[in-house]
Structure 1
Amino acid sequence: MTHTTVPVIFDLDGTLVDPAGGITGGIAAALTELGLPVPDKSRLDAMIGPKLSHSLTEVAGVPAALLEDVIRIYRAHYAATGIAQSRLYPGIRALLEDFVAAGRPIAVATQKPEGLARTVLAHHGIAGLFHSIRGSAADEAAGGAGGRREAVPVPEGKAGIVAAALADLAAASPATAGRAVMVGDRAQDVAGAAANGLECIGVGWGFAPDGELQAAGAVEIVHTTTALHATITRLAGRPATTALNEVHTDGNV
């Protein structure tokens, strides 16, 4: 087995794609339309990554009775203008293409609805690079998602979504899926990886507040795609008997 076969599971927003105001602008537009207060920029940015319904309730204080309406208006706004505002982070396309050329399977595990995640990745011309694209249900409820094979039930939350991506990778290559590594920008990416026996490399260009990734237990934190490539290559090159959680980190590369 060569190190190039060890898979990588990526988060989407804040890791591969910079929403560039598309998400926060859509949330603000939905709240404004319904006469609800709009959080300040720092709190809006903190809503990128976690499950949208949770962020709207816990951060924006949206009443339960209005939650479905806010999400519906947000989705319409995001589809109309938000996707076009997004952009790939510098170096991401080359990183992904290099991994695919080297034979390294890659997947996406995001709390964005799965069908919408596929649309975003297709918009940027990279959907075809991934062996698996997994996300939440269209209504963000547990147990399925747009485009998901319903024969594979998925538990609620990031852990379940990572598990679904990992199952796809395992179906194609059982010997290597268990050595996969997660890459993400928020604490829930680290937690979702840990729940599946994986470790997570944190990226410093996303939306985590200072110290969040360190506190969550990210194995390393990188600040460029060059450093990310080198870290994944180094971790993947270790003997199969070496667990990812044996890697020591000083919080940087």
Structure 2
Amino acid sequence: MRLHQSHTVLFDLDGTIIRSRDGIVESIHAVLRDLGHEPDLSMDLTWVVGPPLEELIGHILAHYGDDRVQEAMALYRKHYESGGMHKSPVFEHMRELIETLSAEGVRLFVATSKPRYLARKILHMRGLVQYFDGLSGAREDESGAEKPELIAAVLREYAVNREDALMIGDRRFDISGAHANHVRALGVLWGYGTREELVQAGADALVSQPSELLAAIRQQFAAAEAHPHT
């Protein structure tokens, strides 16, 4: 089907548009060293991409018997902004997809648990910010990072009809956040969530490769017209 201006696509950022794991994990390891811990390199930190920062920092510190969450969050911001955020390349084919959607008149948004100012910096750094009609992200102090609220803010502030909207993300937070707002959600498998996680979250469909995403978006909007969410 032909996409048009009434269609709206919301993207998660980390693990969907950008490959950010290495920069995030590097920043976490730097925080642990600052707090006097030797990072456990055997600890799989892939899961840290997606959840709100306070939640993931608290979980990691608990592994070391440490409860200095606020101090660790401040250290993380310093390390991430000075180094980690620069290690966030765009996934192959995602730039072309975003350009195509924009050219077809689709309204594009980012809904991310990252602070809004950081998301804007990263999109600007990668030459993508001009394609997006708006960004919904956490506040500078990391509050307001829950996906249901972030997606709801886009729907409300930009007068988006939920039947004409589609969320795209790699973690269960993206799927459940979309469904909490009665918005369809595509789960992508090139990010940091597993197929099982996305299936259990109830993704409307799964996409294996960025090169397959445009066709999947068209299919979801066609399905939405035929069978609206209730």
Supply the distance in 1 between the matched residues of 2:174 and 2:21 (Cα, whole angstroms). Answer: 20
5 Å-filtered alignment, 1:91-106, equals 91-106=93-108
Secondary structure of 2:70's aligned partner: helix
Identity within the alignment, %: 31
1:170-185 correspondence runs (5 A) = 170=159, 174=160, 176-185=161-170
* Residue 33 of structure 1: how far off its partner (Å): 1.1
Shift of 1:3: 3.6
Structure 1 stretches lacking a partner, 5+ long = 143-155, 246-253
SS in 2 for 1:194: helix
* 2:198 maps to which of 209, 213, 218: 213
Q: Distance in 2 between matches of 1:63 and 1:135?
A: 30
| Pairing 1:60-209 to 2, within 5 Å after superposition | 60-61=61-62, 65-142=67-144, 157-170=146-159, 174=160, 176-209=161-194
Are the counterparts in 1 of residues 164 and 224 from structure 2 also a CA contact under 8 Å?
A: no
User: Does the residue aligned with 2:187 lie in a helix, a strand or coil?
Assistant: strand
Q: Given that residues 61 and 69 in structure 2 are in contact (C-alpha distance below 8 angstroms), is that contact kept between their aligned partners in structure 1?
A: no
Aligned partner of residue 88 in structure 1, secondary structure = coil
Distance verdict in 2 for CA 1:158–1:102, change over 3 Å: same
Query: Greater shift after overlay, 113-122 or 37-46?
Result: 37-46
Match of 2:20 in 1: 19
Query: Which residue does the alignment assign to 2:10?
Result: 9
The alpha-carbon deviation at position 41 of structure 1 amounts to 5.8
**Structure 1 residues 224 and 244, CA gap change in structure 2 (3 angstroms):** farther
Question: CA deviation digits over 1:136-160, x for unaligned, max 9?
Answer: 1111123xxxxxxxxxxxxx61100
Question: Which deviates more, 8-17 or 56-65?
Answer: 56-65
What residue is the counterpart of 1:153 in the other structure? none
Distance in 2 of aligned mates of 1:89 and 1:197: 28
Q: Check whether the contact 2:14–2:50 (CA below 8 A) recurs between aligned residues.
A: yes
Cα distance, 1:64 vs structure 2: 7.6
| Kept in 2: contact 1:39–1:60 (CA 8 A) | no
Q: Is the 8 A contact 1:7 1:181 kept in 2?
A: yes
**How far off its partner does 1:60 sit?**
3.9
| CA distance in 1 between partners of 2:65 and 2:118 (Å) | 25
Write the letter of the residue equivalent to 1:169. Y
Q: Is the 8 A contact 1:15 1:184 kept in 2?
A: yes
Could you state the TM-score of these two structures normalised by the residue count of structure 1?
Answer: 0.83
Q: Which range moves more in the overlay, 190-199 or 37-46?
A: 37-46
Letter in 1 for 2:112: T
Q: Which amino acid is 2:156 matched to? A: A
SS of residue paired to 1:117 = helix
Q: Which runs of 4+ in 1 moved over 4 A?
A: 39-42, 62-65
